[in-house]
Copies of this chain bind each other. A is one copy, B any other.
Amino acid sequence: MKEFTMEKMKEACGVFGIINNDDYDVARFTYYGLYSLQHRGQESAGIAVKNGATILCHKDMGLAHEVFNKVILNQLQGTIAIGHVRYSTTGASEVQNAQPMVLRYRNGNMSLAHNGNLVNASKLRDELEAQGAIFQSTNDTEVIANLISRYRVLNDNIVDTLKNVMDDIRGSYAITMITPKRLVGMRDPLGIRPLCLGKIKNSYAFASESCALDAIGAEFIRDINPGEIVLIDHEGNIESHNTVEKGCRKLCIFEHVYFARPDSIIDGVCSHKARVEAGRILAREYPVKADLVAGTPDGGVDAALGFSRESGIPYGHALIKNRYVGRTFIQPEQTQRDSGVSIKFNPIRSEIEGKRVVLIDDSIVRGTTTRQIVQMLKEDGAKEVHMRISSPPYKYPCFFGIDTSTRKQLVASKNSIDDIRNLIGADSLGYLSLEGLLESVKGDKCGYCTACFDGDYPMEVPFETLKNSCG
């Protein structure tokens, strides 16, 4: 039995936005931006472009390079663009849920791209429906768009409108938006989802991660602050509004544990560096005598480096990961898995044979994959397999943009560490402590949401939402 189901957490989305004050092709830049944010969502991709008073949009299921071709990109001519890659956390996996969303409201045309999850979306939707609003999709973005439209009628400017909307919505959100005149970026009051600002010549870009700024050759300027609204126009004027007092920051700590690309710097912390550091601390917290330290590709390799450096145990490659799988890949059926079909990972026998192996992964969600990998390593000759996880036990469901489904599926929510060790068949198992993890991601500006580890949610989660996830 060597088959693997995909049991990693599914990130919500990645967003991008650019306003051209030079002679750039905004759609093309957004395409490259999305390509570098592709790890944040592989289900659908979309780009909306402001072309005069019109907004052109193309979006479909698939990776950026599947959704877009030259003909389509060339049609997306304009001066402001936003883009979105998505893995659904809320809303069904259907094309009508793809973003950006484009809509007409009282003041003209608008387009939104949203990464995050509202915990009170259901309530807001009910209230809006009670006022006669209709919904054509199941995603939160349509809720936000309706609120913007309603508040825009009551306000004479977009900033007050967005402030009103932020008063209403609760949850995580990093949003890029095209308004009739400007590119807007905004981040939720706790800064749960990341969003940063870059500059290239006289043009400006927002992106979920700094790696997307690097991709287009833009210079990183700064992170958007929690609760901040930034509006940029074609004269290059940047207007910033902070809706919250400085203080409490609650960046999703899983961005550094797993989601973010290692080369991204979020709120001043480089993910790669944080992961290496987590590995170091893990080596101190759970030392072991062994011959080889390896990471499961790709999640564990950075922490494995740190573990190796701290422990002095040689770093190596224990597993090959096949990278050619796509959305339409046909998974083996049970009969094939029983025959030993092994699709995603294969051990390198010569590297592990007869050795005591420390295998590092960033997290364990359901445990199935980990068990299979441990078994494969042993079948291929590893003498011992010591599992080390570079984050604490993942016990509590996330309501802010990570799809871990219900609590029932989280192996750590109902099993002791020793039970888990038994289940995965490892000779030993060690999880990084929460203190250790917080130490690894320490930065000047940082505070973190650690709810998935300690259940300490940064805001009240409605009972209905909780109920569905704890079943």
Quick check: is A287 within 8 A (CB to CB) of the other chain?
no
Given the contacts A272-B317, A330-B68, A341 and B32 also touching, CB distance less than 8 Å: yes
Q: Which residues 170-226 of A sit at the B interface, judged by CB distance below 8 A?
A: 200, 211, 214-218
Instruction: Write out the residue numbers on chain B whose beta carbons fall within 8 Å of the beta carbon of A255.
Output: none
Q: Which of under 10, 10 to 19, 20 to 34, or 35 or more describes the interface residues of A?
A: 35 or more
CB 8 Å contact bits of A307-333 with B (1 = contact, 0 = none)? 011000011110010111110111010
Given the contacts A32-B332, A132-B153, A211-B320, A2 and B347 also touching, CB distance less than 8 Å: no
Select one of B31, B42, B63, B348 contacting A263, CB under 8 A.
B348
Select one of B28, B129, B315 contacting A104, CB under 8 A.
B129
Q: Are A136 and B328 in contact (CB under 8 A)?
A: no
Q: Are B340 and A216 in contact (CB under 8 A)?
A: yes
Quick check: is A157 within 8 A (CB to CB) of the other chain?
no
A272 and B314 alpha carbons, distance in the complex (Å): 16
Instruction: Write out the residue numbers on chain B whose beta carbons fall within 8 Å of the beta carbon of A73.
Output: 330
A73 and B105 alpha carbons, distance in the complex (Å): 35
Enumerate chain A interface residues (CB-CB to B < 8 A): 2, 24-25, 28-29, 31-32, 35-36, 38-39, 42, 63-66, 68-70, 73, 101-106, 129-136, 138, 145-146, 149-153, 200, 211, 214-218, 261-263, 265, 270, 272-273, 276, 301-302, 305, 308-309, 314-317, 320, 322-326, 328-330, 332, 336, 339-343, 346-351
7 additional A-B pairs beyond A103-B134, A133-B149, A270-B350, beta carbons within 8 Å, are A106-B129, A132-B152, A134-B146, A263-B346, A263-B349, A305-B317, A308-B315
